Amino acid sequence: MNWIELRALNNLYINGEIKLNDTLVKSGEINYLINSLRTLDRTHDKFFVLEGFAELYEKDYLEKYHRYEAFLLDNELLKPQLRFEESDIQILIGIKEDMDNGNLEPLREQIIKNEATVRIVSLMFFKNEKYLLGKEALINAVKLLLDIDELADDKDLQYKYVLECANPKCIVLCENIDFLKRPTLARANNIELWYAGGKNVNKLDFSDTRGLPIYYSCDWDYDGLFIIYALVKEKIPNIQLLTPNGTPKGIIETEHNSKWEKIKDRNIEYLLTGNQSDIMKKLTELNQWIIEESNDLLNMLKEFFLDQVD
């Protein structure tokens, strides 16, 4: 759902009816409430509520609508033409919370120092380097929340992002940005975190591990293991894959796009240890994946640093 749909449902809850427009007529959520749950109906020019809508709205929508509205108002983002997707608003709320508690300050400093592009910032927070392109209002919202005046608008992906610590014992290269947004734990345990930007691994040709052991943390899905990690392994042959400990999620239930069926006819076992092969086989059998940020980073590293990680 986007903000127009969310606001429309709230207006239906308050007023009992609203006028039709093209966005609402095409809304999957509203059509679901009409055709499947039968808590809404429509005439030629308006939507109106039926019995049960108020109870359903209070249960499933009201609290999050008030949260989104308060956030948008507090940050001066609530404009008449606003069309943010609900997932966009959730990500923006996360950025705001991480900025307020200081978790994003090291990353913010590197974004400014490295003159990060829109594509890089898009990949960091939205997991798709093209997602922000052409979305001026959303780009401006991200800049506002990060307290950044400008983002470079080129296609240069040469920089890696590093969360430094005083006396690093190891390096963990992360597929996604999430661990770098939570610096306290890594720094307290002398773990230096790198983020290269998913598949954008060519910059690793110029990386210096300074003799430190280096490990790889990733989504345990086809792309994370057998595309991105395989590319990383070519660039840094001594890198070791961390064994996940997060809770698997269903690929279909989470609408995930990295499908295990692409694994057929590929020589992939050389990338995994025996235990890791067993985990991967179970994931493929159950059609599940493990999201990188659901893992406990310290516990993954204890396999290598049993006496050094708290």
Q: What is the pLDDT of residues 217-269, one digit of tens each?
A: 999 999 999 889 999 999 999 999 999 999 999 988 888 888 887 776 566 66
52-68 per-position pLDDT tens digit: 999 999 999 999 999 99
The residue extents of the domains of the chain are: 3-74, 100-146, 161-301
Structure confidence at residue 95 as a pLDDT band (50, 70, 90): very high
pLDDT at 160: 83
| pTM of this structure | 0.68
pLDDT at 221: 92
119-154 per-position pLDDT tens digit: 889 988 987 888 998 898 999 999 999 999 888 765
pLDDT at 198: 75
pLDDT at 156: 46
Mean pLDDT of 190-197: 92
What is the CATH number assigned to the segment(s) 161-301? 3.40.1360.10
For residues 177 and 237, what is the distance between their CA atoms, to the nearest angstrom?
Answer: 22
* pLDDT of 105 higher than 50: yes
Mean pLDDT of 187-194: 94
pLDDT at 269: 67
28-46 per-position pLDDT tens digit: 999 999 999 999 999 999 9
- For the chain, give the mean pLDDT: 89
* pLDDT of 202 higher than 50: yes
Structure confidence at residue 90 as a pLDDT band (50, 70, 90): very high
pLDDT at 187: 93
Of 23-32, 119-128, 188-197, 280-289, where does mean pLDDT reach its minimum?
119-128
